[in-house]
């Protein structure tokens, strides 16, 4: 097989699928290449949250707010049920130390434009049953939402195909062709595809693609173990995380790390899907490309969940699984062309935010490739930001 296209997108996760959709919609000829099947990576082993409150105030939160806006029309646009719902979200606060950190975090989030407040535990209990009386408070934002990531990927792909995109599964990119410092195509296990632009959307495997042109990308797989319960009647009324989640994610103030958080970086995240299953997650660990769950990880997640919402441990568990978040040192994705090889574009490193940020990522990538500019300062997301640190 030897074919030609405008753009090759590498990776059939939520990011590659979104980019394929937004580029095809703007008339570009795109071939998406996935080594296994859609959602083989983190996008098929994750929670469902579009949680604005977990985003760092500033550009991170601005991206999430824009993405959430785009989500509002997405189901209609894709003509596919993606189970998008604005359900509201809470960050549970266990100690006065956490309250101090969260007050500052919430103040800065409000300054960036998020609708969020802090409630005492009495008021928190009015909007979510079953909270531990030992909690000191909670935040609440009506704007947090969730979506089914598998249906979302299906929706992006199906619609992209109607715009002329081609998708190749069970096809691994094994090399990149360049000439005079420019991308000329990709070599795959099923032949060569000629292109002028390639988008590396391989999530935690993006560094493997980078190595093919001698690039050292600062992305590492960060394992997240998670639990799924049986289907139960509506119980989790809003998406919920613990304040520990924020610190595990950003290492904000390790002074309130405790036995539960420990070296596994357990920060609780709980949400209930359309069918009634409850997701209870998750760990944040550097364990290479290992996607096994561990007794220790699952035990610690349950211990933390039981401490904050005691009744939750009464539900039966039907599945545990783990995914690899594509971690970057500053918690922001890497989006943009690289300087070394013309036509080599990166869109990876979304850590725990890829589902939330998928629409806005597709928008930014398509605008940068087609228009040469986008609505935010693209330098803030470019790979070069890490080089300027040294």
Q: Which residues are near ligand FAD by CB under 6 A?
A: 10-16, 33-36, 40-43, 45-49, 172-173, 201-205, 209, 224, 226, 281-282, 323, 325-326, 348, 350-356
124 versus 224: smaller Cβ distance to ligand FAD: 224
251 versus 255: smaller Cβ distance to ligand FAD: 251
Q: Least CB distance from residue 24 to ligand FAD, whole Å? A: 17
| End-to-end Cα distance, the chain | 43
Q: Which helix (H) or strand (E) holds 270?
A: strand 269-272
Distance CA 35, CA 219 (A): 19
136 versus 323: smaller Cβ distance to ligand FAD: 323
155 versus 281: smaller Cβ distance to ligand FAD: 281
300 versus 325: smaller Cβ distance to ligand FAD: 325
343 versus 352: smaller Cβ distance to ligand FAD: 352
* Nearest in space to 26 (alpha carbons), one of 366, 359, 357: 366
Q: Least CB distance from residue 224 to ligand FAD, whole Å? A: 3
SS3 210: helix
Distances (CA, A) of 188 to 2, 176, 194: 10, 9, 11
Distances (CA, A) of 239 to 51, 54, 127, 324, 383: 8, 11, 12, 21, 32
Q: Least CB distance from residue 96 to ligand FAD, whole Å? A: 28
Q: Which residues contact 83 (CB under 8 A, 6 or more apart)?
A: 48, 146, 147, 148, 151, 273, 274
Q: Least CB distance from residue 163 to ligand FAD, whole Å? A: 20
φ and ψ of 228, to 5 deg: -120, 130
333 versus 343: smaller Cβ distance to ligand FAD: 333
Q: Helix count (H) and strand count (E) of the chain?
A: 10, 21
Q: Least CB distance from residue 126 to ligand FAD, whole Å? A: 25
Please name every residue paired with 186 in a beta bridge, in sequence order, or none if there are none. 176, 193
Distance CA 218, CA 338 (A): 13
Q: Least CB distance from residue 90 to ligand FAD, whole Å? A: 14
Distance CA 237, CA 92 (A): 14
Distance CA 91, CA 353 (A): 16
33 versus 160: smaller Cβ distance to ligand FAD: 33
43 versus 139: smaller Cβ distance to ligand FAD: 43
Residue by residue, DSSP assigns 66-110 as HHHHHHHHHHHHHTS----EE--EEEEE-SHHHHHHHHHHHHHHH
Q: Least CB distance from residue 42 to ligand FAD, whole Å? A: 4
Q: Least CB distance from residue 368 to ligand FAD, whole Å? A: 17
Q: Least CB distance from residue 362 to ligand FAD, whole Å? A: 11
């Amino acid at each position: 097989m030897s074919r030609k296209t405008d753009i090759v997108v590498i990776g059939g996760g939520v990011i590659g699928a979104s980019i394929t959709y937004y580029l095809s919609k703007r008339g570009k000829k795109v071939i998406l290449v996935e080594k296994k099947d859609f959602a083989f990576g983190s996008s098929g082993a994750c929670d469902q949250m579009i949680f604005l409150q977990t985003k760092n105030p500033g550009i991170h939160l601005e991206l999430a707010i824009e993405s959430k806006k785009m989500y509002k029309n997405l189901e209609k646009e894709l003509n596919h049920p993606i189970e998008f719902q604005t359900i509201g979200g809470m960050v549970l606060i266990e100690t006065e130390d956490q309250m101090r950190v969260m007050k500052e975090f919430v103040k800065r989030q409000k300054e960036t434009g998020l609708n969020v407040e802090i409630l005492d535990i009495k008021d928190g209990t009015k909007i979510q049953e079953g909270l531990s009386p030992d909690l000191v408070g909670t935040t609440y934002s009506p704007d947090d939402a969730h979506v089914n990531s598998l249906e979302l990927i299906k929706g992006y792909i199906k619609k992209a195909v109607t715009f002329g995109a081609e998708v190749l599964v069970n096809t691994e990119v094994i090399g990149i062709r360049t000439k005079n410092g420019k991308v000329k195509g990709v070599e795959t296990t099923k032949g060569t595809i000629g292109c002028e632009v390639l988008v590396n959307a391989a999530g935690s495997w993006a560094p493997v693609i980078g190595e093919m042109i001698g690039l050292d990308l600062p992305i590492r797989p960060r394992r997240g173990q998670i639990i799924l319960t049986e289907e139960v009647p509506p119980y989790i009324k809003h998406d919920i995380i613990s304040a520990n989640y924020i610190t595990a994610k950003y290492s904000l103030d390790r002074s309130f790390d405790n036995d539960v958080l420990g070296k596994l970086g357990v920060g609780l995240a709980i949400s209930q899907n359309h069918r009634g299953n409850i997701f209870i997650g998750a760990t944040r660990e550097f364990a290479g490309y290992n996607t096994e769950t561990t007794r220790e990880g699952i035990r610690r997640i349950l211990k933390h969940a039981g401490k904050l919402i005691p009744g939750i441990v009464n539900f039966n568990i039907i599945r545990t699984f783990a995914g690899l978040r594509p971690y970057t040192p500053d918690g922001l994705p890497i989006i943009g062309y690289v300087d070394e090889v013309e036509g080599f574009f990166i869109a990876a490193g979304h850590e725990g935010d890829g589902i939330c940020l998928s629409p806005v990522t597709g928008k930014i990538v398509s605008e940068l490739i087609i228009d040469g500019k986008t609505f935010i300062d693209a330098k803030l997301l470019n790979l070069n930001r890490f080089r300027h640190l040294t």
